[in-house]
Amino acid sequence: MNKITSLEEEEKLQLFYKSFASSPNSTVLVKYEQGKPKMLYVSPSFTKLYGYTEKEAIGKNPNLLNSGQQDKKSYQFMWSQILDPKIGYWTGEVVNKKKNGSLVPVILTINTIFDKNHQAEYFAASHVDITERKAQEEKLQEIDRMKTEFLSVAAHQLRTPLGSIRWSLEMLLEDVKDLPKTAKETIASIYQRNKDLIELVNDLLNVTRIDQGRTSDKPEPTNIANVIRQACQEMAPLAEERKVSLIQKLGADQIEANLDQTRLKQIILNLLSNAIKYNHLQGEVEIGLDKEEHNFRVVVKDNGIGIPERDQKNIFDKFYRADNARKSITEGSGLGLFVVKQYVEAWGGKTSFSSKEGKGSNFVIHIPLKPKKNTLNQNLSSQSKSIKW
Amino acid sequence: MSNSNKKVVLVAEDDKFYSQIFKSKLEKEGFIVELALDGEQTLAKIKTRVPDLILLDLVMPIKDGFEVLEAIQADKKLQGAKIIVISNLGQDSDVTKAKALGAHDYFIKSNVSIQEVVAIVRKHVGSN
């Protein structure tokens, strides 16, 4: 019985060896002895990729492929992973050198075979040529760079006339004292619509930055109540126009956190502007601030039009607007709550709400007193980990 | 109040529409306003007389606002004015770069009212 089993085992091993050897990926078996790796076997696709014959490769140290571009730290990390019997594995991007001196980017995967004493004995490695993928990636990066540049130029070109319209209207209202009431009202409403456009340009830019993970995060010691008071001050004209009363309940006046003030103000402005805009005449908006153990909490409560149940699961989506919001105010970008959620979550915070159509909404944000730094950027950079040999 | 006590504001702005608004508003508020329409004119005006404050646009012909900041940073004789960048460029990299080159403050034009511009100028040079 034993004999048959071992034959079967041997056959399996042979099959496995064949599949390893004939893999379209370049495969290498490396013997590791006294701290020195030596190539024991190279597959036909290896010789094809790198241009070395079997004879030229076998017995050599795999650093034959070293392109000299290695980043020492990543290289050391790789060795620490493959020599550790608890891990025994490493995969990553490297740039190797062919026999003719040209460079080739590959995904290298190394798997260690340990002996009885948990010492590394062999490394089975596979190299996948990613030249084409790299070229595609570079093209995409170039397109991304062009998109960013275009947006920057477009924003500048849009802001220039919008800003000058804003200032001219301001001067007009100030200089011409004897304008009839209707003319004044018309100018005031042009002023407001122009300001809406400016805000739309700003919102679009913010969203693009979030998408690209390029949002700035400049933390500084901040008194939260002060930022809320500033935001309320900025929202006062809108509240007055809509005859909505804005109530501040800033019980925890002294809360300080280390965070980017511009971002926090944007979060609060977006919540307040929704609560005021999607409200009834003579409505009420209340903003509250409390301290929790590791967070501070901001609550924005209104008795406005509320969010229909069917829209509730989507309200944080980019460009999404609830049905009744669209009917109530036709303009609006559907970006405000998206920005709120992205910013709050980037700091490691949470956003939640409860709402009833026709009754009002209650938005709650919890932000850590020590917010995470710039997670938006970290997410992006973690996608492009690679090492160079 | 005599003219000699009035604060001098140099407006570096190539858009004539904006520069006229700056001029009429700031003069009304009691400032002496000098206008420069490009980066080179700006530097020439500073060479003649260092103003109390410079309102500096970034996108300008011949020499842009960044080049103006570099030139000021490199020449002690041109220093001494408060420099406020007021531009419609607003990427974080622009803000960081301008501040690193010596700008005291940075505002996006379309995001502030002209009344706020006056308040900013007052904050940096005091009232006349």
Residues of A in contact with B89 (CB under 8 A): 152, 156
pTM of the model: 0.59
The predicted pLDDT at position A185 comes to 85
Domain range for A186 is: 132-212
Selected residue of A156, A157, A173, A263 to mutate for chain B interface (largest B Cβ count, 10 A): A156
Does the CA dihedral B52-B55-B58-B59 come out positive or negative?
negative
- Report chain B residues whose CB lies below 8 A from the CB of A163: 18, 88, 109-110
pLDDT reading at A369 higher than 50:
yes
- CATH number for the domain spanning A358: value is 3.30.565.10
Is B111 within 8 Å of A198 when comparing Cβ atoms? Answer: yes
Same domain, A167 and A69: no
Boundary residue ending a domain (A212, A244, A266): A212
Task: For residue A91, name the pLDDT band (cuts at 50, 70, 90).
Answer: very high
Question: Is residue A293 pLDDT above 80, yes or no?
Answer: yes
CB A287, CB A272: distance < 8 Å: yes
Q: Are residues A197 and A241 in the same domain?
A: no
Answer whether residue A323 shows pLDDT above 80: no
The answer to whether B4 contacts chain A (CB < 8 Å) is no
A227 shares its domain with A174: no
* B53-86 per-residue burial string, b: 16 or more CB within 10 A, e: under 16: bbbbbbbbeebbbbbbbebbeeeeebeebbbbbb
Give the sign of the dihedral formed by CA A138, CA A143, CA A145, CA A146. positive
Judged by a CB distance cut-off of 8 A, whether residue B89 touches chain A is yes
> In this structure, are A20 and A112 located in the same domain?
yes
Q: Do B88 and A164 touch (CB under 8 A)?
A: no
Range A254-290 burial, b when 16+ CB lie within 10 A, else e: ebebebbbebbbbbbbbbbbbbbbbbbeebbbbbbbb
DSSP tally for chain A: helices H, then strands E: 11, 12
User: Of A147, A181, A212, which closes a domain?
Assistant: A212
Number of domains in chain A: 3
For B16, the token pair is 């004539």
Q: What is d(CA A162, CA B110) in angstroms, rounded to the nearest whole number?
A: 7
Q: How many CB atoms lie within 10 A of CB A315?
A: 22
Percent of chain A whose pLDDT exceeds 70: 92
Q: What is the DSSP letter of A309?
A: G
Cα–Cα dist A254/B21, whole Å: 41
Residue range A301-325: mean pLDDT, rounded: 86
A178 with A104, same domain? Answer: no
Under DSSP, the state recorded for A244 is: -
- Please indicate, yes or no, whether residues A379 and A361 belong to a single structural domain of this protein: yes
| Interface membership of B97 toward A (CB under 8 Å) | no
Domains and CATH numbers, chain B: 27-125 (3.40.50.2300)
Of A158, A178, A212, the residue that ends a domain is A212
Among the listed ranges A111-125, A137-151, A297-311, B106-120, which one has the minimum average pLDDT value? A137-151
Are A6 and A47 in the same domain? yes
Option in A152, A159, A171 nearest B114 (CB): A171
User: How many Å apart are CA B79 and CA B69, to the nearest integer?
Assistant: 10
Summarize pLDDT for B20-69 with one digit per residue, the tens.
999 999 999 999 999 999 999 999 999 999 999 999 999 999 999 999 99
Whole-angstrom distance, CA of residue A26 vs CA of residue A20: 9
Q: Are residues A79 and A105 in the same domain?
A: yes
Q: Would the pLDDT of B93 be above 60?
A: yes
Rounded to an integer, what distance in angstroms lies between the CA atom of residue A244 and that of residue B23?
37
In this structure, are A158 and A28 located in the same domain? Answer: no
CB contacts of B110 in chain A (<8 Å) are 159-160, 162-163, 166, 198, 201
* Residue A145 pLDDT class (50, 70, 90 cuts): confident
Contacts with A214 from chain B: Cβ below 8 Å: 92
Summary mean pLDDT of chain B: 90
Give the pLDDT confidence of A325-353 residue by residue, as tens digits. 877 776 677 888 988 998 899 889 999 99
Together in a domain, A246 and A389: yes
Give the confidence band of A380 by pLDDT, cuts at 50, 70, 90: very low
